Structure 1
């Protein structure tokens, strides 16, 4: 009978510094795991197990949503639905890449960096997918067809490239300058989010009158904004494990909560977008420009290609970076 031996679990003193997580003491996997060991670790409790499952399960949910949309008659031939399709593709890809990154990041030091390069690229593409959907469905009535609206997606493509480049670069000073690395990474993802949310924040907090697109979706948008804030707060603060190192190694640390709140934010964002699309369809078709293939899937694929080239360049630079000797204590 075949038996599978689960990988050994280590503590923070038994792994190189590059694998350390702030205030996490136990539950580390071997930093030279095989691909098989990485997959097997999904079925044992480590400090990464819930990080993986909190994004693996939602991947299937978002995939089901996009398949449901594609199965509806004429969805591929209706330009009004193309921004939603691009957005849902982004929602499928970013948790899937995060799942793969957390699963296989312990195969080697280089593998860890490359896995998270791909994770960062997927997050940047998700931001672009959100911008494309916001451009089509969320802009307040008074901003529709404005110069800002016409250039919104093009600007978001540039933001995606900047976000991918800055977040990938942030891994280089990680060991010698962890604070700089954290600031660069937060900036890389906060800036595109804030830009994408300009039309939404205007609707929520500043716009008044009849041409503001006030409707029932605003409550869903507020929930999305709350979860987005909590996601960023947890990523920046490393709470609650910073208050009690070692207490939240397996369950309840900030990265797990970061994943959960991030997915909840995406869920509310998706529902709000679909509600806006359905409730505002007639007005938008009469007053706004029709989404084009180049401005939706074309823009998204172009940004993905550039991001992949950037990831390849940073991976090459990381692979040829001189290795620094690591001190590791074993027990």
Structure 2
């Protein structure tokens, strides 16, 4: 009896789905006639075809790995010189992982219906991210003379995301979700870019040596900006998921 009732409810909901999700129009038996179309659009993808979440989870995994590696580095780097070298290289690898996985949600959900550009952008950022992670693990990478190179390398990874974002805007300029996500991505890029600039130039302690040894120095500001950028990108990812859940290709 319970199963029959459950199937009856599903059937009635199916009859109320928007045209994209239903093969026929059965409004005569619809029990949700007064419900607005946008409510049905929320129900429909959950019943029919929710979009895959792995690119979004990959980004969350990269962000958590970055923050965990950084926390571990700050906690254990004072143990010994050898362990400090290992932790610093792990910290740089975490930054590279965060930047590369940040590309996955916008690239996947923007070009999921275009295999050529999907593979092009996803392949490029994956190869670049793996190469940067491997380079980050080299002992020479943490030498002080490579400080500007480190910042430039991470900054260059972020700048490479301009191409798919502009491409997305050209393809979906008439979709408000494309503009919405681009706003988040521009803000994320600014936060990451400012963080890299502060890290490389050692602002503000270079202006007033000794005044920011405990709080307010460049490395702390860098971490705050990175967390803010990651959260901004998280908000963009939620917009992508809702957009593709409701509209598909």
TM-score when normalising by structure 2: 0.70
Q: Provide the residue aligned with 1:84 in structure 2.
A: 56
Q: 2:178 matched to which residue of 1?
A: 214
Check whether the contact 2:62–2:94 (CA below 8 A) recurs between aligned residues.
yes
Say if 1:227 and 1:265, in contact at 8 Å, map to a contact too. yes
Runs of 5+ consecutive residues of structure 2 not aligned to the other structure: 1-45
Distance 1:157-1:203 versus aligned 2 partners, 3 A rule: closer
Partner residue in 2 for 1:130 = 102
Classify the secondary structure of the residue corresponding to 2:160: helix
Q: Distance in 1 between matches of 2:224 and 2:73?
A: 16
The higher relative CO (CA closer than 8 Å, separation ≥ 6) is in 1
Equivalent position of 1:145 in the other structure: 114
Choose between structure 1 and 2: higher helix proportion.
Answer: 2
**Offset, 1:201:** 4.6
Q: Is 1:227 equivalent to 2:199 in the alignment?
A: no
The answer to whether structure 1 residue 156 and structure 2 residue 125 are counterparts is yes
Q: Secondary structure of 1:244's partner?
A: coil
**Do the aligned partners of 1:137 and 1:273 also contact (CA within 8 Å) in 2?**
no
Q: Which deviations, in whole Å up to 9, do the C-alpha atoms of 1:260-309 show, x marking residues without a partner?
A: 011001100110111122124343x3x3xxxxxxxxxxxxxxxxxxxxxx
State whether structure 2 residue 93 is matched by structure 1 residue 121: yes
Residue 256 in 1 paired to residue 220 in 2?
A: yes
Structure 1 residue runs of 4 or more that deviate by more than 6 Å after TM superposition: none
- Aligned CA-pair RMSD: 2.8
Contact kept in structure 1, 2:151 and 2:197, CA below 8 Å: no
Q: How many pairs are equivalent? A: 202
Gaps (5+ residues) in structure 1? 1-73, 288-331
Aligned CA distance change for structure 1 residues 167 and 185 (closer, same or farther; 3 Å): farther
| Offset at residue 208 of structure 1 (A) | 8.3
CA contact (8 A) 2:192 2:229 kept: yes
Is 1:125–1:160's contact at 8 Å kept on the other side of the alignment?
yes
